[in-house]
Every structure is written in structure tokens, then in C-alpha cells.
Chain A
Amino acid sequence: MAADKKDVWQGTLALMVLKTLETLGPLHGYGIARRIEQTSGDLLSVNYGTLYPALLKLEQEGDISSEWGTSDNNRRAKYYKLTRAGRKRIEKEAREWEQTTAILARFLAPSEES
């Protein structure tokens, strides 16, 4: 069932998390995971467990901050939000990512589709 779904690797997961927070504002871990799945059009399967170490890493690096809050349906949850450093990082990484894909695209263009 998961064979045609791609696992998310660390570097891109961080960018997805940051971008999600940029779009939706402060959000709890579950919300972030769901949003990533939805945005990917269910092509990605997020092992929700891997999300939390990634969030911790981002927080340690100062890109996001967290505080406890209450969800729409009255559950206590930890909310993450972007910091200034995080916004800068999105800009930088998005640019790099675009460059990388653009370069790769040029290599792949003349060959047969795979």
C-alpha cells in the first residue's frame, strides 16, 4: 500500500514544516502532519513519529518556537510558530531548492521520461 508513496527525508521535511507554518500560522504537530499529507496530494506518507524529532531540531536551531495552547475542539496541544530566523531560512532554502530542481530538470529534459 505504501509502496508507491515516498518517504520524506529530513532536509525537505524541515522545509515543508516551515512552509506549512508560514502559510497557516501557529499549528500543532498533528495539524502540521496532516497538512503536509494533504498538500502532497496524498503522495507522501508522513510517519507522524518522525515529525517530532524534526520539530525539536528546528526549535533548537531557533527557526520555530513553541507554546502550549488549546485546539478548536478544546484539546490542549503544543503550538509551533515561525520565528524571524525561520522566515529567512524559508527564503534561503526555497531559493536553493528551486535552483537544484531547475538544474536537475535541465539534465533530465532530453532523456526519456522515467
Chain B
Amino acid sequence: MRALRTCLARFRGLFGKQRRDRELAAELESHVQLHIDENLRAGMPPEEARRQALIQLGGLEQTKEMYRELRGIPWFETTSQDIRFGLRMLRKNPGFTAVAVVTLALGIGANTAVFSIINGLMLRTLPVRDPGRLVELLHQYPGEPAFNGFSWDAYRTIRDGNHVFSDLIVGSLNSFTVRGDKLQPQTVFGGNVGGNFFEALGLQAAVGRLIGPEDVYMGYHAPVAVVSWSFWKARFDLDPEIIGRKIVVDDAPVTIVGVTQRGFYGLSEEAKQDIWLPVSLGPSPGWGFALLGRLKPGVSMEQARAQMAVLFQTVVNAPDAGPFVRRMKLRIEPAAHGVSTPLSAMLSTPLILLMGMVGLLLFLACANLAGLLLARAASRRHEMAVRVCLGAGRVRLIRQVLTESLLLSVTGSALGIFLAYFGARGLIRIFASGRQIVGLPINFEALSNPDWHVLLFTGAMAVATALLFGAAPAIRASGPISAQPLQEAARTGQSKSQKRFGKSLVVSQVALSVVLLTSAALFVSYLSHLRSLDPGFRRDHLLLVTLDTARSGYSEGQFERLSEQLVTELDAIPGVKSATVSDMSPMQGPGASAFAFEQGHLDNQHNVSINNVAPDYFETYGTPLLAGRSFSAEDQGKPPVAIMNQSAASDCFGNENPIGRHLTLSHITLTKSEITYEVIGVVGNAKYNDIDQPAPPTIYRDSVQGGFIDSQLAVRTSIAPDAVASEVRETEAAVLRTVPIAHIVTMNEQIDASIVPERLVATLSAWFGALGALLAAIGLYGLLTYTVAWRTHEIGVRMALGATRNDVVRMVLRDALWTVCAGLALGTPLSFWAKSVAASLIRGLPADNPMSIVFGGAVMIVLALAAAYIPARRAMRVDPMVALRCE
């Protein structure tokens, strides 16, 4: 209470300073008068009376100062004084301030942007009860990425058989078409959830109630749905009357019974789910149920892994499980941040690389700014000397200069946060154009809105950068200063150690920018390597049209006739060489799969991909026929035929000729159907998934013979493929009237969409490298300019003693090259280290190739020479007479 009152009184003391000063003066004056009066009464002469009164009062000014210190909050007042003065200094040098703030804003903004995505994707925990105890279950085939997806049977076996989870949470990610109750029909992402989903996560309803076991039990008898808070806000305007509303989800009426608490977006932060239905209302998505377990108290991760590995054996060894399933392994991973999605799987490596690069860039920017500030500190020696003479302490001076640095970095950070918000959104948008991600409901808010983690990170960065670039100049500025510089203030002299320090700053900038340039060269060459890989077909002059065949209304026979007619009409468009339809196009991603074995040889089964293609598929894509023949019209009505790619043929038949042999496909796309085909041909390998991976063993089936509905049109053109796009569109609309076009891309675009992270890393690293090199060059230029100006006198003497202009130029260039070489000596081992880190994150990175480092070094040397050009010319033009007269 007393402390609080004192604080308030002191706070009040901050205001009305002048009035309070006057009052104190009046009080002290009255004190003196009273004292004099008494002294006079005691018989002293007036002069002596006054003198004695003043002696007894002690130092008048000290008293006032002590009083002032008590009155307000001294540190606050000096700090605000520092800030006011700092702002004035920054305003006085608008050019310097702008350069520093923009550099910092870019550096800190880039770091904040990357960090806020990392934060949203990998660091933030789900807003549920005790997320630290949540684990995610994933299945994995040997050599393939793990995937959180299980069959309903697998879920039941794990639920009933485990002793390690207090809850097993089941949910699937689905997209629904939602309409009814004033809602425009729209696609909404959501999930089908088990009865314990919300209860086990410890979630509360914002209004109404959440789905419970009874809803799952009732299923279609009492269909219910729960929507997210953001859906409630966006679509129902937070109408409290939402409970009991009826909407139509995927053509089935459901009743909304509740809204989830604000900030809950489903089982992952980056994919946004808006509607949940009981699992009994959804389709059974095969191996499409995500599982999340809550570890029982006292159960460790290792115990859970050990026990579940045993239990999972009973799942994969179920009597009806195919050979495919038997090879499956179970993995258990911590899931405090939610279930893994393609986004987090795809982005974690590029994000770590980018974080490293923007971190280096920020270091470089700090070194650069330190150089600028140092130069300024030298020119402020006079000012500092005056301050010392007026009684400022050394700590006070350091504080003043650091306050200025902090002002710069805080302004830069504020601007940086602003830039980061858009930067993060832009980055995610680019990442989201990747093939694996398209269609995923990306939660932009969660990934780009700065939460307190991000703000803390940025704040820490502001302080750290201010110390990094401000500490040395601050100490330097306050350095051993006597009144001496006052006399020689006109000369901005520099001590030897000061020069060495300025040089070491430039050296470190060169070193860092060599690392950035090397990384850029590495990633760019990796990208061009990826682009130069042979995909097994001709990638140019190819237009791909994806059809949305889901609601065409055509029967299979109708569709087949129409698509044949479409291909014929497309062939007739000028500029089109040939057209075809198929189930999949190369580089579109994984498609159907099955087990293949020679008829009767059940013991020799192989996992293969399946594609259904029209007769002129291979011709259109440019995949060579290596043996046998292609599909033809004569196969109609005959026993089924198939074509294998080279890889599938050697898997199933080794070195023997597969033509004419009979091949059985079983478990086609996890169904139990089994069909035997006669092999009629072998084609070259074409890639479907990853451009840097071997083509999958593929079996091609005849679409016409099998009566399959294909949704991929491909058009091979003799002119630019974009040029025929509009005519292709018109033709398609005229022939397949009820089938809309989902999207049109060229094959090159489709391949690019499969390497979005690589492209982004290459592009950004190139920018970072360029920016870093530019900063280093500016730093070097500043240093050389300064050195030349400082050595003008010396140069004059040298010239007077007979040095030629060439000698002088050589002197400056030698200076520049030495600095760069020192930077290279420091940067090369750093670059090797950076390369090995990158190589450990990306397989197939050509890290052994020393060319990237050579490139980085060469660029720096060229830049150094360019940066030295103007200072060298200035040195060359020094007139010895003028230079000497200056003294």
C-alpha cells in the first residue's frame, strides 16, 4: 500500500516539473529567510546572518538535485531523455536512418516470416487438454513416408487391444458439400469423428454441445453436426440461434447441435477443418482414419512403441489382409502439435534451410550496420568529448549510443513484423501451389498471424541485433576520451585498433556472403539438375486437361463414345499433333496400385502402379515402345491385355521376354478384385511421383477395353501448348457437356508443381545471396572510401616522393583484395560446413561439387574490385600539393 502510494506520487512527479522546481526554490528561500531572521534576532550583522544560514543549509544545488531524484523516477527520466535525444539524432541523419531501418526491417522481417511458419507448423501445440501426452499413430511401408491413416478394423483392434492409451481418438479429414439454410452450396473441409473425439481432447462447446458416443450410435437416425467457431462467425454471423438449424451435408440432412470453442481447427494447426460429423455418418475411407492416442499416466513413449508394435502384428496378419498390408510397420510419434499433414512433411526441410539463410543474412546486416555506426562514432568523437567535459559518465555514453541502436532495431522490427505477415502469407501461398498440397484447407491465420511466441521471438531479435551492431560502436564511441579530441576535432582520426575492428567487420560480411552465395549456387544447381532429369517422356509441347467426371451423369458406354469423339476432334485442332485420355498423367502423383505376379506364381508378387490409357497414350506422351505392340481397336471384346513398363517387366519376369505371358493383378487399389492380363508390350519407364526417384513399376491397361472413365486429357502440340488451350476448352465443352474442366496446365508446369519447395528454396537463396553480396560490397566500399579519405595525406606524400598513379591504385586494390581474401579464408570452411548440413537435409544434393564455393569466391572477388573502383579513382586523383597543404 505504502509502496503503491509512493509509486503513484513518483509517477505524478514526472509531470509539472517546472512548477515543482519553483515550489522547491520558494520553500528553500523561505527556509533561508526564517534562518536569517533568527540569526538577526540573535544579534548577528545581516551579512553574517545570511552567510551562516546558507552554510547550515548545505549545498543548495545538491539539495535540489537530491530532491529531484526522489521526486520522479530517475531511470525513466534519463531513458526518456536518451530516447528523445536518440530520435533527434536519427532525424538529423535521415539517409543513415532510412538505410539502417530498411536493412533491419528486411532482415528481421524475413526471420520473423520464416519463424512464424515454423511456429505455426512445428512449434505451436494444439489448443486441447494436455497436448504433451498426445501421440500420433502412423503406418509405414518399407522405404516410403509414414502416413497417419488406418482402416476401421485396424482402429478397433488397436482400441480394444492396447493398454497404453487412456483414449484412442479417431477422425478423418474429408471435404463436404454443404448447403441449405441460407447457405450457398460450398465445399467445406471437416471430419468424421468417433464418439470420444471431443471429450478425449478436452474441448468445450462455445454454444450447444459437441458430438458424443450417442451421436455415433444413432448415426442416420438422428444425424448431427458440429461446426467450428470461425465457420459460425463467417457463415452464421455468430447467430446464437444456430443450434437446431438443419443443413444438408453431402446430400444428407443433418442438425447442427453445437459450435467448438474458438481457435480449434481440428487435429492439425495448418489445415483448417470447419465441420464435424459422427463417424457413422461418413463414407468408410478405407485406410483413411487418422488415429491419435493419449498416453496413460506413467506410460513412456518407448513402452507405448514396444507394446503397439506387438499389437500391430495382429492387425497386419489378419486373415483377409493382403501381402501389401503385411509389410506395414507402425510408428508412434509425439503429436502435441497435431497430426502430421503433407504440408508439415513437405515444408520442414525447406523451412529449416530458409531459417538458416535468413539468420545468416541478419548477421550480415548487423555487421554492415555496425560498420556504418562505427564510422558515425568516429565522426561523433567531438560530440562525445563535449559530453565528457560536461560530466557525462562512460556508462551514460554507452547507454546513449545503445539507446540509439535500440531505437533503430525496434523501428526496424515493427516494420519487419508488418512485412513478415505478408511474407509468410506469400510463402505459404507458393508452398501451397505444390502438387502434394493442392486442395488442402490451409489455415493461413494460424501460420501467418503473429502470436506471442512470434512477438517474443521478434522482440528478442530486436534486442539481440541492437546489441550486435550497437555494442562495439557504443564502446568505441565512449572509448578513452579526454578533452584532446576537442582540440583536433577537425581531424577525424582513427586509432589502429579501431581500423582493425572496422576491417574485421567487413571480413565477416564477406565470409557470411560467401556462405550465402555458395548455398545459393548449390540450390540453384540442384534445381537445374532436377529439371534436367529424364522423366521418361517428352515434357515440352504438352497440354494437360483434368476433367471433373464426378457428376457427369453419363453411363460408362456413353462416356467412352464421347471421349473417343473428343480425342478425334482435338486431333483436328490446328497445332495439335495428337491427343489422348488416361486415368493418370505422368508426374501427377501416386495413383492406383496393385500386386502383380505371373499367373499362378503367387509366391512372387510385386507392388505395381496402375494406369488406364487410351490407345494413343504412348505416342502422345512420347514414351517409347520397347517391345511388342501398343493397344489397338482389335483388342475390343477380346481377353484383357496389358502393357508393362521396363521396371515392372524386370520385376515380374526378370530377363525373360514378357510378351505373351499372363500377368495377374490382385488387390487393385486395396480391393480384393483379381484379374489376369495377357502382356502385349513393354514401354520405357516414365516417372509419376518424384522427378528424382526411379519410375515406379507400372502396368498399363486399355481404357477402351476395360471401359474405364478417364479424367486426364493430354494434347501434344506443334506450337506453344498454351496457344491451343482456349480451343481445347471449347471443344471439350461442346462434346462433354456435363463434364467441367477442373484445370489446365502444361506438362512443364505440372513438373514444376512437384518441386515447389526446391524451386522456392533455389529462388529465395539466390535473392539472399545477391542481397548478402550487395551488403558486403557496400560495407567494403564504405571501408575503402573511409580509408582513402583518411590516408589522403599519406597518399600525397607518397606521390610527392615519386609514387605513380598506378602505384596508388594498386595500393587501394591490394587493400580490397586482402580484405576479401581474409573473408574467403573464413567463409570457405563455413561454406563446407553449411553444405554438409544442407546435404544431410536433402538427399541427392550435389554437395561434393566444389564449384558452388568457387562460384561464391569468384563473385566476391569481382564485387570487391567493383567496390574498390570509386575509392581507387579518388585515391588516384589526389593532388599531392593540395593534400599536403591541408595539414
Contacts and interface: CB of A to CB of B under 8 A. Distances in A.
A53 B30 contact: no
Given A53-B63, A56-B67, A29 B27 contact: yes
B31 A62 contact: no
Given A48-B56, A50-B58, A76 B30 contact: yes
A37 B67 CA distance: 22
Interface residues of A, number: 23
A44 B254 CA distance: 91
B70 A48 contact: no
B6 interface: yes
A57 B70 contact: yes
Given A52-B63, A62-B2, A30 B10 contact: no
Contacts of B71: 56
Contacts of A52: 24, 27-28, 63, 67
B6 A61 contact: yes
A28 B58 contact: no
A49 interface: yes
Interface centre among B26, B34, B35, B67 (most CB of A within 10 A): B34
A93 B602 CA distance: 99
Given A49-B59, A50-B58, A53-B63, A60 B9 contact: yes
Interface centre among A30, A53, A59, A76 (most CB of B within 10 A): A30
Contact of A75 (B23, B37, B58): B37
Contact of B66 (A53, A76, A78): A53
Contacts of A31: 34
Nearest to B24: A52
A62 B67 contact: no
A114 interface: no
Interface in A22-47: 28-31, 34, 47
B34 A77 contact: yes
A101 interface: no
B500 interface: no
Interface string B56-70: 111110110011001
B196 interface: no
Contacts of A28: 30-31, 34
Interface string B1-14: 01001100110000
Contacts of B6: 60-61
Contacts of B10: 60
Interface in A69-113: 71, 73, 75-78
A53 B59 CA distance: 13
B261 interface: no
B33 interface: yes
A76 B23 CA distance: 12
Contact of B58 (A47, A59, A77): A47
A87 B59 CA distance: 32
A94 B516 CA distance: 72
Nearest to A34: B38
Interface centre among B10, B28, B31, B67 (most CB of A within 10 A): B31
B27 A49 contact: no
B34 A49 contact: no
B34 A59 contact: no
Contacts of A60: 5-6, 9-10, 70
B344 to A, nearest CB: 57
A62 B37 contact: no
A73 B37 contact: yes
Nearest to B35: A30
Interface centre among A31, A48, A61 (most CB of B within 10 A): A48
B310 to A, nearest CB: 72
A49 B70 contact: no
A53 B70 contact: yes
B30 A75 contact: yes
A34 B63 CA distance: 18
Contacts, number: 71
Given A61-B6, A76-B30, A49 B57 contact: yes
B60 A75 contact: no
Given A48-B57, A49-B57, A29 B70 contact: no
Nearest to B33: A75
Contacts of A29: 27, 31
B30 A59 contact: no
Contacts of A47: 56-58
A47 B27 CA distance: 16
A62 B5 contact: yes
B67 A53 contact: yes
Contacts of B66: 49-50, 53
Contacts of A59: 9
Contacts of A75: 30, 33-34, 37
Contact of A78 (B27, B38, B62): B27
A56 B70 contact: yes
Contacts of B37: 73, 75
Given A56-B70, A57-B70, A60-B10, A49 B30 contact: no
B28 to A, nearest CB: 7
A30 B56 CA distance: 11
Nearest to A85: B2
A31 B33 CA distance: 12
A28 B26 CA distance: 13
Contacts of B67: 52-53, 56
Contacts of B30: 28, 30, 71, 75-78
A30 B28 CA distance: 9
B69 to A, nearest CB: 8
Contacts of B24: 52
Contacts of B62: 49
A30 B58 contact: no
Contacts of B57: 47-49
B9 A71 contact: no
A30 B70 contact: no
Contact of B31 (A48, A50, A61): A48
B805 to A, nearest CB: 70
A49 B28 CA distance: 9
B55 to A, nearest CB: 10
Nearest to A60: B9
Contacts of A62: 2, 5
A62 B8 CA distance: 11
B33 A49 contact: no
Nearest to B8: A60
B6 to A, nearest CB: 5
Interface centre among A29, A31, A52 (most CB of B within 10 A): A52
B743 to A, nearest CB: 73
Interface in B15-48: 23-24, 26-28, 30-31, 33-35, 37-38
Interface in B45-95: 56-60, 62-63, 66-67, 70-71
Nearest to A78: B27
B725 to A, nearest CB: 80
Given A28-B34, A71-B34, A48 B5 contact: no
A60 to B, nearest CB: 4
B1 to A, nearest CB: 9
Nearest to B69: A53
A86 B62 CA distance: 27
Contacts of B9: 59-61
A2 to B, nearest CB: 11
A34 B66 CA distance: 21
Contacts of A56: 67, 70-71
Given A48-B57, A49-B57, A71-B30, 18 more contacts: A29-B31, A30-B30, A30-B31, A34-B38, A47-B57, A49-B58, A49-B60, A49-B66, A50-B58, A50-B66, A53-B66, A56-B67, A60-B9, A75-B30, A75-B37, A77-B31, A78-B23, A78-B26
10 contacts: A47-B56, A47-B57, A47-B58, A48-B58, A50-B58, A52-B24, A59-B9, A61-B2, A78-B27, A78-B30
Q: Which 10 A-B pairs have the closest CB atoms?
A: A49-B58, A49-B63, A60-B9, A30-B34, A77-B30, A47-B58, A30-B31, A48-B57, A78-B27, A53-B66
